[in-house]
Amino acid sequence: MKRIFATVVLACVFLLGPTLVFAQPADIGEFCFRAETSTGSTYEYTLQVTDMGNSHFSLNGHVWPVAPPMVIIINPSFEPLHGVAEIRGNTVYMTLNKSSILHPAILLGDTIVRADTVYVEIPIDTLSNGTFRMIRQTHNIDAATDGTDYITGTFGLCP
């Protein structure tokens, strides 16, 4: 009987132990990053960073266009986003996902739905002078057309 009890206790410790003792997510804070595309557009990413443990991070926030001014768009593309970050060596690797719908100003164009996946590599010591690559998929609702763009640029802390 003692042997069965000991076996059950050991099994519980080995099977349930890792799930019972784990690090709680820790809020790191909010960061502002600026992305400048190779085509001259600038975006600011506001990211809330949560440390999930073992160099894994959860990212939540939004992106807002800075330049060129988005004067022809009603409610200019405030885009909620989510993503993850990993630290390996001296580099932070991020993947960010976002989607939005662009409503044109009257008489200026069509309504466009877009979804972006952004991949970022940035040095951990400065969080500046990083690079990004983005795949943007678009669908023009009014014209019923689709498109895919590949956008690159620089990524770093806001000035």
Instruction: Say which CATH number the domain at 87 has.
Output: 2.40.128
CB 75 within 8 A of CB 64: no
User: How many domains does one find in the chain?
Assistant: 1
Residue 18 lies in a domain: no
Q: Give residue 45's identity as a one-letter amino acid code.
A: Y
Say if 14 falls within a structural domain: no
Enter the pTM of the model: 0.78
Q: What is the mean pLDDT of residues 5-16?
A: 46
Is residue 62 in some structural domain?
A: yes
Q: Which two structure tokens, joined as six digits, stand for 56?
A: 């894994």
Average pLDDT score over the chain: 83
Q: Closest Cα partner for 153 from 125, 121, 127, 124?
A: 121
Residue 34's domain spans which residues?
24-157
Q: Is 102 within a domain?
A: yes
- Nearest one of 68, 66, 1, 61 to 30, comparing CA atoms: 61
- Token pair belonging to 112: 């466009």
Q: Report pLDDT digits (tens) over 71-103.
A: 445 555 678 999 999 999 999 999 999 988 877
1 domain residue, yes or no? no
Output the pLDDT for position 149: 95
Query: Of residues 6 and 137, which shows the higher confidence score?
Result: 137
> Is residue 2 situated within a structural domain?
no
Strand segments (E) across 38-111: 42-53, 56-67, 73-74, 79-88, 91-104
Q: What is the pLDDT of residue 12?
A: 46
Residue pair 65/41 in contact by the 8 Å Cβ criterion: yes
> Residue 11 domain-assigned?
no
At residue 22, the pLDDT reads: 61
Query: Above 90 in pLDDT, residue 156?
Result: yes
